[in-house]
Amino acid sequence: MVDRADTCAKKDGRKAMWNRELETLDRSSLEKLQMKKLEKTLESALRTRYYSRVFSDHGIDVARFRSIKDIAALPFTAKDDLRLSYPDGMCAVPRAEVVRMHASSGTTGKSTVIFYTMKDINDWAELVARCMVASGATREDVFQNMMGYGLFTGGLGLHYGAERLGCMVIPSAAGNTLRQIQLMKDFGTTIIHITPSYALHLGDEVSAQGVDPRELAVRKAYLGAEPYSEATRDKIENQWGLDAYNSYGLSEMNGPGVAFECIEKRGMHVWEDYYYIEIIDPVSGRPLPDGDEGELVITHLNREAMPVIRYRTRDLTAVIPGPCPCGRSHRRIERIKGRTDDMLIIGGVNVFPSQIETVLMKVPEVGNNYQIVLDRRENLDRIHIKVELYSKMFRGDLKELDNLKSRLARELQALIVVTPRIELLEPGSLEPSTGKAVRVIDSRKI
């Protein structure tokens, strides 16, 4: 086991880094490294049925690439391209070199499949170890991994990185709440990896067992796999008495480990020696400068089994301009606001579910679960928001509940224009989620 992080930190008193040399590489060397890796990526892309056809259709001559910026000449890759290449049209190596696959199911159509060689798996573990050390984790930590294991990348993705760092890993996977609590208590879990929606639910369940979550040993939570607001992070931090770090990734780019917050908690560092990022206008496809919000496009610069070039993630974010006080040179992205395909158009107004969540989670009486239901009556969009409250709100004071209902309707109406119907519910009324939460039911589409 490599113990680079600890030795690095102790020697010079600086904050630990897993790979100081690569994490602090100056920008010009980083760009040169990216270019070198892009050349290799393009070579391997040409070995896939998909890219050899696409490059030839677009008359792309990869030998003419001089700088990483030339990547803009290449066409985008979309999720549908991966689907149409199912099962292995994007695989660049013989089957015998593939040691693992993951798949993301999506809600419609065929799944998208990702292949990994042993080197890909090792590189992924290195990146995850970097992420964890950036958040202050050490080999002393007990890491309880409450993300699904299996075709979903959340469980296995963090698992190998945490082992690489030397943590004790509890592969408890998602669900089975009572056992999660027992494990946390018995083994002194210090870090949990969990979806934000499940973290809120689990916190409630711990309290229901008569244990204050703040009294457990858990000091960090890695939250990701679904969009959530800053207000939700605050809520989880207060409920558990821990530091929550935002973790971003997607199956097409390995899974978790693409971008992660350091201890500054001011945006997520993207590991730019592995991922080349662009922000584009989602409609025109034109590049946007740092600081402007748009769709994140990622090229994996380091994968043997499955190169994916200029992948349109559909995730909306912005590159944060300027350096991070932590000293890492890799740029940061903002919290993901939502997906372009998740944007709701209600009565002609564009709203992301995360904006509704921000309003709800800032209200102290609001509990840990909510659902947005949309339908249409006589050509008019209607929005119905089901909101769980804390149990102390159901002491029989109907006036108080009425006032709260009007307050929520007013605050939300300022955002979505249409007046929402608010339904206040007791805790536990809505189905809790242990994985990615389904927050929106849009029956207008049915």
Closest CA to 357 of 260, 440, 237: 440
**Which C-beta is closer to ligand DLL: that of 204 or that of 226?**
226
300-319: contacts with ligand DLL (CB under 6 A): 313, 315
Cis status, amide bond into 87, omega within 30 of 0: yes
In whole angstroms, the minimum distance from the beta carbon of 291 to ligand DLL comes to 19
In whole angstroms, the minimum distance from the beta carbon of 327 to ligand DLL comes to 23
| CB atoms near residue 402 (< 10 Å) | 11
261 touches ligand DLL (CB under 6 A): no
Alpha carbons within 13 A on the beta-carbon side of 373: 9
**Which C-beta is closer to ligand DLL: that of 136 or that of 267?**
267
226 touches ligand DLL (CB under 6 A): yes
51 touches ligand DLL (CB under 6 A): no
**Which C-beta is closer to ligand DLL: that of 357 or that of 381?**
357
**Which residue among 110, 119, 185, 339 contacts ligand DLL (CB under 6 A)?**
339
Q: Cβ neighbours of residue 240 under 8 Å, at least 6 residues apart? A: 199, 203, 213, 214, 216, 218, 221
Asked if residue 199 lies in contact with residue 161, where contact means CB atoms within 8 angstroms, the answer is no
126 touches ligand DLL (CB under 6 A): no
Q: CA Rg, the chain, in Å?
A: 23
Closest CA to 33 of 275, 360, 365, 285: 275
**Which C-beta is closer to ligand DLL: that of 141 or that of 295?**
295
**Which residue among 34, 135, 197, 247 contacts ligand DLL (CB under 6 A)?**
247
Closest CA to 224 of 99, 333, 115, 374: 333
**Where are the strands (E) in 82-235, listed by range?**
100-104, 112-116, 142-145, 168-170, 191-194, 220-224
**Which C-beta is closer to ligand DLL: that of 20 or that of 159?**
159
**Which residue among 136, 154, 213, 420 contacts ligand DLL (CB under 6 A)?**
154
381 touches ligand DLL (CB under 6 A): no
Closest CA to 372 of 356, 358, 359: 356
In whole angstroms, the minimum distance from the beta carbon of 235 to ligand DLL comes to 16
Cα–Cα dist 159/184, whole Å: 17
357 touches ligand DLL (CB under 6 A): no
227 touches ligand DLL (CB under 6 A): yes
Residues that bind ligand DLL (CB under 6 A): 104, 147, 152-154, 224-227, 246-251, 255-256, 313, 315, 336, 339
